[in-house]
Every structure is written in structure tokens, then in C-alpha cells.
Homo-oligomer: A and B are copies of this chain.
Amino acid sequence: MAIRASEQIIHKAAWLYYTHGLRQDEVARQLNISRASVAMYLKKARDTGIVNISTSTQLFTDDVLARQLEDVFGLSAVWVVPQERHAIDPAAEVPAVAASVFIELVNRGDRIGVAWGRTVYTMADVMSFADLQDVTVVQLCGNLGAPYSYRPDQCTMEIARRLNAKGLNFYAPLVLSSEPLAQGLRNEPVIREQLASVADCDLALFSVGTVDEDSHVVKCGALSPDDMHALRDNGAAGVIAGQMIDAKGELLDCDYNRRVISADLGSIRSIPKRMMVVQEDSKLDPLLAALAGGLCSHLVVTAPMAKRLLEHRKSDLRPLSQ
């Protein structure tokens, strides 16, 4: 909590440079150190969140598509990442936008729930450091096998580290082999408390997964490709925090879900700000399911995806109104 002596000088340099607008050599003179040291301290200050530089994300909210999506799906806020002509991949930009948006949505003292996935992990990776105080980051779902690289606990911890926040991990597997065991584990006080605390979050961050053999739950061995196809045939439309949802965004009634340890969808829905980030164009159906179930309030998508969402909704509504 308290600033160590070695950090004090960094704070001072940052204050004089960024708040008072002195030049590096002036700061150096004031603090009786070399200008090179000042440059170094300032870099450190930026890297650790002592100094915070954030760019408005209005560029991405200010888009007809974003407005339409807000209206049509009743969302609080939508960010659309445009297709840049000369630029690189539009999808690659999504995590960067999402990370900025995410930081803007966090307030001091907040409790934040974080699920897992490649998108979330990439976001954590490009997220800038911030010096929020009294923020807690909680893991929304159990863990996967060790050799996997986007583990839920890693996502949680990395985001906590970037925000200078407290990370609350959750040491249970995401999927167990039998239902009674899962039930037993869910009733363990440590686990139960953490799952119950999800409803108290101010903000949640997650993506949505596809129901096919590319899904993380398949890749990490929790389900076989065949199981996955069977689930799909039984109505699974997407994966949220490791759980199968149907096309209405409700928890699918299936053996797999009963063996999962994760935050329940009701708790997630009761979180005021539920931020969903989707970078892959293949996730149209899962995303529609999540939207149908009211699982998200804040959405970050690519422009192509935004267009497809709107088209789908239009063709969906017309038959009904006729």
C-alpha cells in the first residue's frame, strides 16, 4: 500500500512532468538526478500505471451500426471496430478496443468477474496498466487442464496485475467427471462463497464460445468432438463461462452442464455491466444466443459481425410482424 522510497521518486518525477508540465531536464534539476534517470522513471511510471494514458473510445461508439445494435438488442453500449482499408486485421483490433473500453468501465472499489478464452487473454495482454485502488478481480469459472495456455486463472491474474487489483482465484476444475462430485465441490464453503459473490460484481468480462470441435472445452479435453456434436444436436448454441447455453440464452439442461463448476447465469445477469467481446466472425450464432438470453449489456464486435447481427434480427422480426 505505502509507496516505497524507490517509488517515491518515480511518483515525484511523474507528477512534475505530467501534471506540472516541466521538461525532463527541469525535473532532473529539481530532483538532483540526471535527465536519463528521469526518462527512465517516466517510462516506469507509464509501465506501472502511476501515470495513466487513455484514449477515448468514442471513435468506435460513434457509428450508425453501434447505435442500431443498441436499439435493436436493447444494449447499454456497443463498440464497433471498423474495417480499415489499409490497416491490418479488423478482428485483431477488437481486443485492443475492448481493453480500452474495459478500463473505462472500471471504477475504484469495483468487483469484476472475468471468464476465460483466447479473446479475454489477448485483451489482458494488450491492456494498459492502471492504478485503480480497491479493485477485486474474481474468476467466473473453474480451471482447465494445466498445459492449456488461456487458463481462467491466468486471465484473472493477468488482469488483476494490470489493474493493480486483488485477484481472487478459484481452484476447482471447470468440468468434473461425475455430477455428484461436481455438486459436492460446489457445496464446499470456499467454492460456494466465491460463486455466490459473483452476483455482487459491478462488471463482468467474457466472450462466448462456439459449439464445435474448435471450442476450448474440446481442445482441452473436457469434451470429445462427438460429445460436442451431440450437445449441438440437443440444442446447444454457445458456451458462456464454460457452460452450454441454448438459442434462447438459457442454461441447457444436459449432463455436461451439471458437471461444470462456474458462475450461474442468473448471477451473471444480475451484474449491472456485462461486457461481451467477440472477435471471430464465426461466432454469430453463439452471440445471438447470448444476446437473446440478456447475458450482455456492453458489446464489442467487428463491423462485419455488427452487420450480420442486424440483418439476422431484421429477417427474424419480419415473419413475426406479418
Contact = CB atoms under 8 A, between A and B. Distances in A.
A12 interface: yes
A187 interface: no
A40 interface: no
Contacts of A54: 18, 51-52
Interface string A50-88: 111111101100100000000000000000000000110
**Secondary structure class of chain A's binding surface, majority of residues:** mixed
A285 interface: no
A15 B50 contact: no
Nearest to A51: B55
Interface residues of A, number: 31
Interface string A1-15: 011000010011011
A318 interface: no
Contacts of A56: 11, 14, 49-52, 131
B86 A11 contact: no
A59 B11 contact: yes
18 contacts: A2-B62, A8-B59, A11-B55, A11-B56, A12-B59, A15-B55, A18-B53, A18-B54, A18-B55, A45-B55, A50-B56, A51-B53, A51-B54, A52-B53, A52-B54, A52-B56, A53-B53, A107-B107
B14 A55 contact: yes
A50 B53 CA distance: 11
A8 B58 CA distance: 9
A51 B56 CA distance: 6
A36 B81 CA distance: 27
Given A59-B11, A62-B3, A96-B19, A86 B30 contact: yes
